[in-house]
Each structure stands twice: as C-alpha cells, then as structure tokens.
Structure 1
Amino acid sequence: MYRKIQFILLLIFISTWNLHAQDPNFSGYGKIDRHAKRAPDSICNNLTFLHKYLVSAAETDEEKIRAFYIWIIKNIKYKDQIELKYNSDVLFYMGSNNCSSPVCVLSRKQAVCEGFSKIFEYFCQQSGIEAYSIGGYISKNGVLQDRATHSWNLLKINGTWRFFDLSWAYATLRYTGIKSSTNEFFMVEPEQFILTHLPLIPMWQVLESPITIETFNQGDSKIIEQLASAPQNYSFTDSIAAFKLLPQYKKRLKTADEIFKTNPSNKFNRAIEYYRFAQIAVNFDSEITPLIYYKLIRAQEKIKVAIDLFQTSDDISSKIMYLHSKDLLKLINRLLDSASSDIIYLK
C-alpha cells in the first residue's frame, strides 16, 4: 500500500513539474523579440555587426540572451548535409560537410545541433556571459547509448545556471508552428532539463546529485526518484572552476577520462576528445621545443588510441574520423621526425 501511495505522489510530482515547465511567463520579452526579428539583412552575414545590433536594444544580460536565442531559431535552419568526398587512398568515401563554427553557420544560415549551440555560445561569450556548448545524450526509452547524439547550451545568468536547446526550439517552431512552445527550451532549470538531456560528463549537469546514464535511460520516474533521494555530495561548482583553469589540451584529456568513467561503452566521443587533443598539439607556430615535442609524443600516443577506438564501429562517422585520425597521425610523425637531434633524445 505504501509503495502504491509513493508511486501516485511521484506521478503527481512529475505532472506538476512538467506543467510548470510548459507554462512559463514570457510576456516581458515582446520588445526584445521584435527587435531580434527585425535585424536587417545587410548585417546578418557579419558576426560582429549582428551581435552589436542584437544587444543594442537589450537592457539586461537576460534580454541579450533572449535576442540571440530568437534570432538564431528564426534564421538558422537545421540541415544535415552528407556528400561524397574524394580520397586518394580509398578512391572516395562518404563524408559530411556540416559546419559548426559560428562563421560557417552564419554564412550558410544552416547547421546541425552543434552549430546552433556554437553560434549561441559565441554571441553570449562576446557579451561577457559565461556560456558553454554541451554535448550529450537525449532520452531514448531505455536504449543503451554508446555516444552523444545532441548538443545544447548551459549559461550562467544572474548567478544561476540555466539550459537552452536551440535546435529543438527551431524544430518545434518549424514543425508545429506553436511559437509559445519554443520557450520550453529557453532558460530551463537543471532538474527539469535532466529529464531529457544528459551531458557527457557529470559536472555539466550542474546538479549536486548527478544522474547516471543507467538512471537516465530508465526515464522520468527514476530520474526524479534519484534527485529526491540521492545524497547531495557533488560540488559541480568546484569541478567547473578547476576545469576552467586547465589549458585547452588538458581539458580534452580530462573530458576523455570523464567520458570513460561515466559511460565506458562510449568509445566514439572519447576518441573525438583524443583527436581534438592531438589537433591542439600540432597547432604551433614556433620551432619544436622540448615542451612541444613532449606534447607531440603524447598526441601520437592518444591518436593511436583514437584510431583503435574508431575502428570498433562500422558507422559512417567513425569511418570518417578513422581516416582523419590516420592523416593526423602522419602529420604528427612528420613533425617528430623533423625535430632537432638535441630534442629527439627525449623520446
């Protein structure tokens, strides 16, 4: 009897929570929304000019964020582009020419979810707002997830963390035409957002009781149950602060380690982080110093691991990244071979 009452109360809690999330008061955004929608075409291909216009009518950081959000979901289309690309080693392979950089997204006026999150992150950061593009898992009805399939944003607003999902907001606006529904993905509280979005690593949940991927895959009831009963013993504030102090290459390695701890079956995203680490290592303008040489040695080690991880899957993305990783390994090997004899002994 007790368990039945407990379950009924849990269902009431879920219903109340969802109702609260779906019916926010956004009436105060009318002026800034209209301003964002009226951005002249003449400035919409220039990040600097567009940013300056969007913030010109905003009186608060929250209004700036709203202007960025509205302009993006009204002007950037979701489109996944796949094309054939020539490769001398394999004649051709299936590749993707999706772009995620803010410059590319603005130029094409189209993107996948990562592109939406990157351009939103850019505008916010240009305004001095702490913002992150986050990759992670979305609810899959209990199916084991071996990689992140989605990207969204996390922002700190007036000392409080809030989530945004612009590509979902775009999809809602485009396919339902219900403008108010796009607000479901604007400034969402962490406890609500975690019902449908699980970041790759725990600190980006900004919860004191991080949800495991096992719990996430069991759905709303289990997630809310854990939020209500699990001890609040995790300091995401300290974790984020420590992460921000790391240089970019160490952030990549830290993220790869956390991905493995959180979901060992996710080989793809761990390999991506090793690939990104190796890319940073080869991006230098000076002669090869002992420190650069050491980073290249580590990059050589990690890109080999990435190649092995990409080989474990037969999907197109893994095959593409396998080829890119092989090319990157060749570059690293050439750089190591070009180092002076005074440095090579470090190997």
Structure 2
Amino acid sequence: MKTKNTADASSAVDDFRERINKETCINLDFGYLNGAIESWWMRNNHQPTHVLKFQLLSFFQTYLRSEDTLYFDKVGLADEGVAAVCIKNIFRLDSPKLALAAHEALAELFYLTDIKYDYEEHKALYLKPSAEQYKEWGNGYGDITPHSDDLYENMHIDYLALTVCRDTTHTPTTYYFPRDLIDNLSDDELETLLTMQAIFTSGKNVNGFKERIRNIVTYDPLYGYQFSLDFRIDQHCGERMRALNGGQHVLDKMRAGIAHARHHVSTAQTGTFLIMANHKILHARPTLNISVDTARKHSATPTLSTTPRLLFRSKGPRKYYYPLDESLAS
C-alpha cells in the first residue's frame, strides 16, 4: 500500500513527465524570401553590419508571412511548448557579412539579448588554431557531448542561437530533449533528479577556472521545467558536471544512455538559423566530417572566407529578463 508521501512523489514524477513531453521544435522555411533578400543584398552590401541588421529587421517584419512570425515571443515559455525553432533557406549566398546581419536581426526578433564575456570570442565559430587537437569545443574539430551553455556562470542564459554561413563538412548541430535522456530512469531515480544539485565547471573557452552550483531541475511558472545538464568531459578539467551530495549514479546512467537516445539535427546548410531554449534542450555535435589533416590545414591559418564550417552564435537572457545577474534577483 502506498503511503501519502509515496503517492505524492509518484504524482510529481507523472506531472513532470507529462509537462516535458509537450516540448517540441518548430521547423520553418523562409525560402519564399531569399530571392528578395539577395536582391536587397546586392544593392546594400557596402553598408556597415549594424545598418544591414536594422534593414533586415524591417524587411522581415514587413514581408514574413503571419504564420512565420507566430513563434518570435514563444520560445521557452511554459504555456507554448516551443523549445526550439529551426529556420532554413533564409539566404543562399555564402557571405559572412550577410550571415552575421541576418543572424543579429533574427536574434533580435526572438528577444535574445546577446552577452559577450571578456574571456570569450563567442560570435564566430570556426576552426581555430590547434582545433584538430580538441573535442568539446565549438572551435575544435572533435565531437561535442550534449550540454546547455554557461552553467558555470552566475548569469541565466535563456537562449542560444546559431546561424550557418557555410558548412562544406555537412556537420549538423544535434539537439536532445531532456525527456529522451531520462527514458531509462526509474521513478525513484527521477525523484532524485528532481531534487539534486550539481557543480558545473568551465572548460577550454575560459581563461582560468569558474564554478557554480545549480539545481539540476527547476520549475518556474513562466518557463515551466528547466534543466541544467552538461555531459561534456574536458580533457584538462574532467567532467563538467558533478553531483553534489549524492545522485551521481543518476547522471552516470543518463550519460550511458546518450549513445542510444533519440535526438534531432538541424539543417547543415547556408542560411539556417536555429534558436533553442538553453535550459530545455541540450545541444551537441559529432566530429566534423572532414579528415584530421584537412582540419589541421584550415586551423593553421584560419579565415572567415576559407574555413569549411562557419557559424555565428548569440546566447543570453530573454530581453525582459532583469536583473541579468541572478545574485541581484532577491
């Protein structure tokens, strides 16, 4: 016979599963606009990027179909169930300047406040020097294990956005819903997950060392259930996420299931924009689909015009999220 506490815990787990199972990714195609965008670009590409951004903002607001503007203010919100939006065919021209302007305009439309840390060149992702030696790094050659960004920071990162300028390697961004990483957990293990904490540490992208303790799962009336998970193992720092005061066996079991977990992939072609709710989806990437010798050649003298894979990135809080520093929120 179940006790009241046991029944309450079982009910909480059932509610948890039901809510996170509603999260989805919306796929859109802006192909009906890219011819007009290319014509606009040929007339205006001499202008500064910040001017081009605002022109594109106006262009999108004027010419996008109403059904393609529905999701700008919905990503990550509990009542909407939209954890990510992937848009393809925004433009076809391989131009870093055009890709950056389109990226910045769309990030603005999705209410993303981009945050630049002093220690990180975070905007352009491509093969940087010694890239062939590194995994778990956006500018490296090797694979990247599922994670959410910047869990070692004090700031709360609501969104991550990526725009493909070029990808001759055809290596898509992979993303995982947490529900697909907990499929192999028992109800008792899920109860542990819902109440446990972990220590998150920085990796290669940070000069020095950063660390923060977070709850693995939190609930917010606006955002619903949110996750802090990072399964990367840094070759210098080790595991980027370690359980605090018990529960490591749950994280280890989730890690062991990643290889067989259901996952999704973005479109690895010029003109694709992907925005994710950072605490509702984990993103990853396989090893680039080129040889290590090719990666070494491109990383030795990297340029935006010749690198085989170039993405632009923004990450940060939702625009109305104040204060930005969580330590000031109380």
Task: Note whether the superposition's TM-score is higher than 0.5.
Answer: no
Choose between structure 1 and 2 for higher RCO, CA contacts under 8 A separated by at least 6 residues. Answer: 2
Greater helix proportion = 1
Q: TM-score scaled by structure 2?
A: 0.29
Greater strand proportion = 2
